Structures are given as C-alpha cells and as structure tokens.
Structure 1
C-alpha cells in the first residue's frame, strides 16, 4: 500500500454518478480515438470484466481531491503482472479529473483498464448502502484462474442470476415452425 493511502471499502468510496462519467468522457480527448469509441469502451466497462479484474483498491483524500488506486488484472493474460490504475476525483466540484493506466501499451491514449476501473467505481457508487462493510483490498478474482482455481464458471463470475437460455436445437425448431407458419399464410 502506498504512503498516506488507506484500504478502500464501500463506506469510504467517493460518489461517482452517471453525469460525472459522461462529462469525463466528453471532456477527455484520450477517449475520442476511433478504437475506443463505442464497442471497446462498452466492452471494457462491462460488469463481468471490471468486477472480477479490480483489486487492491486504496484511497487518499487531500484538499477536496480523492485519489483512488487499484491493481487491474489483465483480461487475457490473467497470470501476468497487474496494471496500476489511478483515478483522481475533485469531490468539491463532483468532477473526475483523470483516470489512467500506468502500465499498458495503450495507456497514452486512454485504455480499457482505466475505463474498467472508472465504471467499477461508478457501479460501487450505485449500490445501495449495506449494514456490513465490504473490503476492496483483495486479490482480483480473475487473477486466481489457473492457480487456486482451475476454472471459473459463468455463475461464479457474475453475482447476478443467469437466465435460462434454450438450447440451440430448440431455437432452431422454433425458427423452422415460425417460418412454416409465415410461408403458409402467403
């Protein structure tokens, strides 16, 4: 842990609302690049990546500025060294000043690790208050695949209920039946 930082938990994280996120992307030229627009930004901000890849979150507050740091597990090389991501928030002005990854090749133009951490903090802000304190100073779940975990299932990766999906053969049968109905009415 860095000097003057404390382990982050849900009781001390700064509030990051949707407007703050929107203004950050609007005012930050690093996220205007074609490769980051829409698809890549959406993919890196998805809950299934950011929630499992974010760990060791620490926080420091000084003079109205809140600095958050985390270790972000790489998405594809989960056993590789984690990326260091830092976000600075002006709590007095409700503004995200910066959010950047310090270790990946794409960090100069805004990278997916920074987006994933930003969206992670935003999702934590949207959670209802609980009576228990959840510590965020822990190893990312994704980084345990291949070491203490042999594999991870979809149910383990997501805390949400996974809806039942019909088999592809059932979808195919329904499609053929619907097509026959449409053709017979012509």
Structure 2
C-alpha cells in the first residue's frame, strides 16, 4: 500500500537525476565525505547488479517543484531481514538533490551504502531509453524473492547483460 500522497513509481513519473546532480550532491554533503564512503563501499553500492536487484516498492510524491521518492532496499547480506526504507528528495526546477537518506540501517546517520545505491538506481532509471511501454517499480525486489518461490537465484537472473 502506498503512503498518503504518494503514487506508485513508473518509468514515466520518476525525477530525472543526472551525473552532475549526483556529483554536486556527494561533493557538498558532509555525510558522504568520510574515507569509508568515498572508497570501495561507495563503488560497490553504485553497481548495477546490486541496486537493480535490491530496490523495490518505489513511490513518488510531488509538491510544487519538490519531488520525494521512497523505496525499500533489500539488505544484501541477509535477504530475509526487513527491508530498509530509503528516501530521496530533489528540486526538479533547480535540478538539485536536496537529500538522500536510509532510515533503518545502523550506518544511516553517516550516509550509508543504501542511500548511495538508491541514488545510483534513480540515475540509471533517468538514463533508460524511452519506450512505448511503461514499467512499474511498485513490486518486490528480486533479492527479496529468494527463499519464497525461488530457492536460489543465478547471477545472470539478477541483471541482464547486453549481448554484443
């Protein structure tokens, strides 16, 4: 069930997040200045194979030029644990990211990897080529499905690899 004022996110109602917006946000936000966040942790969190399989139940709310996007991220280390709630707020007129936060994990006060993964996911959705169909993002994440109907998941099923 979506929260009051929110609608289910689809490929045609997400905010546009470009690389410049992400860079400006990370450069100006003290939560993402530590050596831990700048290094390997950030690079791993941004990878497509994690974010695209871990993000689910995405919802959007717009109030004037402010867009709030909320989602659930399945923990990578324990897929049966409660999903983490993440939220991104951006100003669509100014093309700036105001905040990206994870509300549930132990590292949420210092700019955690789930916030990075969610922002990278939003950026990748902004770069997806337009199509005639609309994809709905209000669904359970692929990682959260492990152990329910699926007993295991193959790496090739988590993400699609372009064939050359």
In the TM superposition, what are the counterparts of 1:48-63 in structure 2 within 5 Å? 48-63=49-64
Report which of the two has the higher share of helix: 1
After superposition, what is the alpha-carbon deviation per residue over 1:107-147, rounded to whole angstroms, capped at 9, x for unaligned? Answer: 00000000000000000000110100100000000011112
Contiguous gaps of at least 5 residues in structure 1: 164-186
Deviation at 1:162, TM superposition (A): 7.5
Asked if the contact 1:155/1:162 (under 8 Å) is kept, the reply is no
Larger Rg: 1
Deviation at 1:161, TM superposition (A): 3.9
After superposition, what is the alpha-carbon deviation per residue over 1:85-111, rounded to whole angstroms, capped at 9, x for unaligned? Answer: 010000010000000000001000000
Q: Which residue of 1 aligns with 2:34?
A: 33
Contiguous gaps of at least 5 residues in structure 2: none
Tell which has more relative contact order, 1 or 2 (C-alpha 8 A, sep 6+).
2
Distance (Å, rounded) in 1 between the aligned partners of 2:52 and 2:82: 18
Q: Which residue of 2 aligns with 1:42?
A: 43
Deviation at 1:38, TM superposition (A): 2.2
- Describe the SS at the equivalent of 1:152: coil
Q: Which residue of 1 aligns with 2:12?
A: 11
After superposition, what is the alpha-carbon deviation per residue over 1:147-169, rounded to whole angstroms, capped at 9, x for unaligned? Answer: 21111112101111479xxxxxx
Asked if the contact 1:155/1:161 (under 8 Å) is kept, the reply is no
Give the TM-score taking structure 1 as reference length: 0.86
- Describe the SS at the equivalent of 1:78: coil
Give the TM-score taking structure 2 as reference length: 0.97
Distance (Å, rounded) in 2 between the aligned partners of 1:66 and 1:156: 32
After superposition, what is the alpha-carbon deviation per residue over 1:60-93, rounded to whole angstroms, capped at 9, x for unaligned? Answer: 0002000000000000110010000010000010
After superposition, what is the alpha-carbon deviation per residue over 1:8-48, rounded to whole angstroms, capped at 9, x for unaligned? Answer: 00011111000000001000000011111121101011000
In the TM superposition, what are the counterparts of 1:171-182 in structure 2 within 5 Å? none
